[in-house]
Structure 1
Amino acid sequence: MELEQAQKLWQPQPGWLNTASYGLPPDPVWTAVQEALADWRVGRTSWEGWGEAVDRSRVAFAGLVGVPAADVSIGSTVSQLLAPVAAALPAGATVVVPEVEFTSNLFPWLVQGERGVEVRTVPLAGLVDAIDAHTDLVAFSLVQSADGAVAPYEEIVAAARAHDALVVVDATQACGWLPFDGGLADVVVVGAYKWLMAPRGSAFAYLAPSVRDGMRPDAAGWYAGQDPHASYYGPPLRLADDARRFDISPAWFSWVGTAPALELIAEIGVPVIRAHDVALANRFLAGLGRPPGESAIVTVEVPGAREKLERAGVRAAVRAGRVRASFHVYSTEADVDLALDALTGRPDPG
């Protein structure tokens, strides 16, 4: 699908530059969720149809990051999906994490401190050099939430492999706009409500077989069964033999919206979306006299920026004391120029 054609499927109000907080649903997502809610309201259908959206979502996510669908587990949040990975670390293990890491990929490791797990936080720029023979696992965001910094993924993986360390990647701020090979890592987690533009409440984890074989599915329920529909009642334990053993029972309506969102992203193409998003981000930076970057997320320090943007109706975020603007498939040059007019005080050409 051509980008210009695809953009007609979104209905944003001008000035939405905050996809790094949450993405906007395209029409197929909105329609699917509304139809499901209408059916729920009157009891028009059974739930199994809603549940089928999970399988579609799993397959679509696997395709986006280049891993087998059998190695993908579904859940609701990044930290929930990381919990069994952290719990499987041996006592006394050492984890290296960037000091600016969003806490969903930090707290799961820190809570293992009572077992002697040590977490070392280092500057993102020094992450590669910080991986050494004492490192058991390195965890980092592919794109940082605070400022949009893109991690040197392949360099980090190479350093970890040189020291037999596991690699855990939070791709929540990347997946949907930044192409990457998920199979290079041992674990990749993604919250789907940002750049994947799904309803909040759906999340994915790629779990390499070598890692999940050492993990225990403490949250296992009927949906983790080899055949979920034959796992409603009674023993024995009969879990799936692939990553589904770590699934939790899905929040139906979130997944009803997740499947069409991911399928549309695949239809447009992540490389196409990346080129569009980064071009807009660099238009924004150029308008402020800043050098170009490689991220769809940018942060700037402009006196009174938050107030100026709010007065102009531009919705952005403030992270780590700086204004954070993020640009996605539905963003336009007009959105960028609206923000630049507000920040620079230049006259509106209209």
Structure 2
Amino acid sequence: MNPATRISPRYLLQFGESAGYLDFARFGPPSHAVLETTANLLHESTTAGPDTVDQLLRQEIRARAAVARLCGTDTDHTVLLPNTSLGLFQAAFNFGGEVLVSASEFPANTYPWARAEQAGRRVVRRLPGGYATPEAIEAGLTDDITAVSVSAVDFRTGYRADLAALREVVGDRLLVVDGIQGFGVTEEPWQVADILVVGGQKWLRAGWGTAFAVLSDRALERMDPVLSGWSGARDPGLFDDEIHPPDQSASAWSLTHLSPITAGGFAVALELVEEAGPAAIAAGIAERIGEFSDVLAGFDAEIVSAVDRRAGILAFTMPGHSAESVGAALSAAGISATVRPEHVRLSPHASTPPAAADLLRSALGTLRRPRTASPPPTATHDVLTALIPAVPSLAAMLGPGTEVLLHDLSKLPDSIIAIAGEVTGRSPGGPITDLLLSLVRRNTTQDLTNYRTHGPDGRPIRSSTLFLHDTHGVAIGCLCINRLDTAAHTTTDGQPMESFAADVDSLQRFLVDRAVGKVGIPADLMKKTHKAAVVRELDQAGFFLIKDAVDHLAGRLDVTRYTIYNYLNEIRA
């Protein structure tokens, strides 16, 4: 896999939405870092000191700097806003001439131009419905048109506008781009826009009340800012009872300062995108969209959204079922989606797990049976599937006192997909051992042969573990053989020890108890350093590969789940 498109585990660790949340085109649940930053800044504001306000206001500079880096510009060309609509109102009112706008745009991109026309600031030319393709835009242009306004991603269909081609067609006119449905999660040449306006509450996952605008030199030269407040004026800190002219930078669009608490959360959200990389985020979203498309194909669903130039939006209909009934089935299965009269819209993020496709399949299955059996995204690899029938045969060949089992590492921690024999008392669907979990966590997937350990009942065992790899060398499973060692004593003489837990809860309790024991301080007496040491030990043991592990540990250590995330971030930094 290209490193540029490999999503960072650190990025994924920042989010905790449910697997069924598939509505990022409507709202993106913020990260743990955004929540923590907002809480910390709010706490600072409640304990205000001599320089508290000045320190808080610096959060705006931090957020603008992150915007500038992501857009390849500088802070003089950026301004923070409370929402996308205000940015588009600024674009509509601060320039003159005619504007070409698609009739099928989201209302946030039509009302500002209509209101500007009512105020006598603009003349609006409406492009007929359909995709805002370069050909359609070119056909709608006249010599009187001075600006073209488009969405980078169509909110109904997920169609990605070809911004580079639109730039060529628009020429010297201003190109206004509403980037809320694509910025940070699609790779686009954002620098071709003269006015780029982006809200942070959706794909950027910064929460409501966050947005920015980036203005080109062409836009700065041509603007006549009538919607410019005191914070957008030249020398805003000079209180001389005079009305100052608007600043010559993008700051001229500022009416007043954004809340510094909101700005701080926005900065963190942007920095997370910057750290993970839009390419990696886009690749993660595309993978989920591809899986959802496969599921829908198995139910004869019709995909009505864009296919060739699509972003993170997948809209579909189900023949014989209304969008409302489909939406009800999804909701009953714990899936969040946008339901419109004409279709259902799914919009996953890079943090959406593969299990979401299984949820979708199950929900649609309540409406009708699939046309053909379609394997889930986490379906057992062909190599492992072929080995399942061999497990009981191998155990029978090796004789009594032998146990053979097969693990599917894509199903961690409940990885046992086949087992024969009674040495450790486990069954299919049971968890991996602590030893193998730690090896997987460290990517140390080298075979272990004939090592000594002991079973749940204390009997000595000799074990061998052979890791199975795909064609790319990635470990996909392991074949394990456990045999009672009747000639050995119960001691293991320093050889590998492992816990054969019967279920995930038992595995979690064992790992936490062991980590707490190594620290040597009871959980109720631990200080921060002790708790961080427990988290470090568990991270190395692969504990956080287990679903809901953070919540389990937070309860054991009597801290919040966000504290656990903070410890992890510090450890992995």
Structure-1 separation of matches of 2:334 and 2:239: 50
Q: CA deviation at 1:173?
A: 0.4
Letter of the structure 2 residue corresponding to residue 11 of structure 1: G
Q: Which moved more, 1:44-53 or 1:182-191?
A: 44-53
Aligned residues: 345
Matches within 5 A, 1:1-350: 2-43=7-48, 46-90=52-96, 93-114=97-118, 115=120, 117-125=123-131, 127-134=136-143, 135-161=145-171, 164-228=172-236, 230-231=237-238, 234-235=241-242, 237=244, 239-248=246-255, 249-289=257-297, 294-302=310-318, 303=321, 304-319=325-340, 321-345=342-366
Structure-1 separation of matches of 2:275 and 2:151: 25
Distance 1:154 1:267, change over 3 A: same
Q: CA deviation at 1:188?
A: 0.7
Q: Which moved more, 1:329-338 or 1:316-325?
A: 316-325
Letter of the structure 2 residue corresponding to residue 318 of structure 1: V
SS at match of 2:52: coil
Is the Cα–Cα contact under 8 Å of residues 337 and 344 in structure 2 kept in the other structure?
Answer: yes
SS at match of 2:244: coil
Structure-1 separation of matches of 2:86 and 2:330: 35
Structure-2 separation of matches of 1:9 and 1:112: 41
Q: CA deviation at 1:132?
A: 2.4
Structure-2 separation of matches of 1:211 and 1:63: 19
Structure-1 separation of matches of 2:364 and 2:192: 40
Larger Rg: 2
Distance 1:286 1:144, change over 3 A: same
Structure-1 separation of matches of 2:23 and 2:317: 16
Letter of the structure 2 residue corresponding to residue 167 of structure 1: L
Q: Show CA shifts across 1:36-91 (max 9, x none).
A: 2233345467222222111111111122122232111221122212223222443x
Q: CA deviation at 1:227?
A: 4.8
**Percent identity between the two aligned chains:** 26
Structure-2 separation of matches of 1:166 and 1:221: 23
Is the Cα–Cα contact under 8 Å of residues 70 and 242 in structure 1 kept in the other structure?
Answer: yes
Q: CA deviation at 1:286?
A: 1.4
SS at match of 1:279: helix
Is the Cα–Cα contact under 8 Å of residues 179 and 270 in structure 1 kept in the other structure?
Answer: yes
Greater relative contact order: 1 or 2 (C-alpha under 8 angstroms, separation 6 or more)?
Answer: 1
SS at match of 2:184: coil
Give the unaligned 5+ runs of structure 1: none
Structure-1 separation of matches of 2:247 and 2:95: 22
Q: Which moved more, 1:93-102 or 1:36-45?
A: 36-45
SS at match of 1:288: helix
Q: Show CA shifts across 1:227-273 (max 9, x none).
A: 54x24563251653311122232122221210011011101100000
Distance 1:141 1:259, change over 3 A: same
Q: Show CA shifts across 1:112-134 (max 9, x none).
A: 33326132132333533434233
Q: CA deviation at 1:204?
A: 0.8
Structure-2 separation of matches of 1:188 and 1:98: 17
Q: Show CA shifts across 1:197-227 (max 9, x none).
A: 1121121111122223332333433422445
Structure-1 separation of matches of 2:316 and 2:137: 26
Give the unaligned 5+ runs of structure 2: 1-5, 371-375, 380-428, 430-573
- RMSD over aligned CA atoms reads 2.5
Structure-1 separation of matches of 2:139 and 2:353: 40
Letter of the structure 2 residue corresponding to residue 297 of structure 1: I
SS at match of 1:188: strand
Distance 1:227 1:89, change over 3 A: closer
Structure-2 separation of matches of 1:76 and 1:191: 8
- Per the normalisation by structure 1, the TM-score is 0.90
SS at match of 2:228: coil
